[in-house]
Amino acid sequence: MQQRPFGTTTIKVSAAGLGCNNFGTRLDREATRNVVHAALDAGITLFDTADIYGNRGDSERLLGEALGARRKDTVLATKFGLPMDGSGRRQGGSRRYVRQALEASLKRLKTDWIDIYYYHRPDPATPIEETLEALDGLVRQGKVRHIGCSNFSAAQVREAQNTARANGLTPFAATQDQYNLLSREIERDVLPMIEAEKLALLPYFPLASGMLTGKYRLGRPMPQGTRLSNPRYSDRFLNDENLRMIEQLEDFCAARGRTLLELAFGWLLARAPVASVIAGASTPEQVRLNAGAAGWALAADEVAEVDRMTRRD
């Protein structure tokens, strides 16, 4: 497994990472352990979760149990900020809550430190300076190595970075944004900002919730029990335009003896800011397929052709 730079930090991460949002919902303790161990055996070092995953806490809890003594061999990322209860108190980016959320995550993950701690979503009720001051304190204490953000606009990231520089605080080292062959909206504003700030980019939904695995075809019944059977995901990706685009991409891959899954990984990894492609898995076999898919290094002309095929007016 290729190890890639994580932005301008000293961290190296595996080209394929494991998204852990299935843990505690679709996967129980034993299934989680099997997937985690398959990932470690495949050379995956980056494990990405969030406090809210798995019915508010179970993903972190099961991941911590499954990693055990092998925690030291991993780059562990988690997130804070989304509501952890119905009271409205356990959420956001306030100084008080950031510290509380971090301690809870450390306990569930059975670790003394988090490698990358993401602010999951902007909190309009809290000044970014307050949140950054709290995160800076956690970095200085050694409880967090690097911080990042998710679902921030380009303007919001710039504001945060400028605030950090002006006040001598730890800046964001990474960002997580939706990015895949079917969703290229971040190229307008967010991606140029990421490149200018030299941030690591961790794309979420890299497989468009399964659309880019090759399971879905125009005019064919949808496979049962998949993520796209949930309207939350199907409304976002499942449409005739995307299915027609997938047919073209399938032809492109077939002409080169490759799979659509390999293209989904390879195209993202050809983007300079992308540190790792984080994909979820519900079985050890899916883990192994994802790990293997990270091996296609697209040539420049192949990237350009795929760009033309997937660019929307």
What distance lies between CA 97 and its chain's CA centroid?
23
Catalytic residue among 53, 117, 118, 179: 53
Q: Is 117 a catalytic residue?
A: no
Q: Closest Cα partner for 222 from 242, 205, 206, 203? A: 242
Q: Give the H/E segment covering residue 175.
A: strand 172-178
What distance lies between CA 138 and its chain's CA centroid?
22
- 211 with 237: CB under 8 angstroms? yes
Instruction: Report how far apart, in Å, the C-alpha atoms of 290 and of each of 6, 38, 165, 263, 283 are.
Output: 20, 11, 38, 11, 11
Instruction: Report how far apart, in Å, the C-alpha atoms of 273 and of each of 202, 205, 219, 225 are.
Output: 8, 16, 36, 34
Determine the Cα–Cα distance for residues 14 and 1; give it in Å rounded to an integer. 6
Determine the Cα–Cα distance for residues 60 and 65; give it in Å rounded to an integer. 9
Determine the Cα–Cα distance for residues 30 and 284; give it in Å rounded to an integer. 12
Burial class (CB in 10 A: 0-12, 13-18, 19+), 34: middle
* Amino acid at residue number 219: G
For the chain, the residue count is: 313
- 49 with 312: CB under 8 angstroms? no
* Amino acid at residue number 104: A
Burial class (CB in 10 A: 0-12, 13-18, 19+), 224: exposed
| Active site members | 53
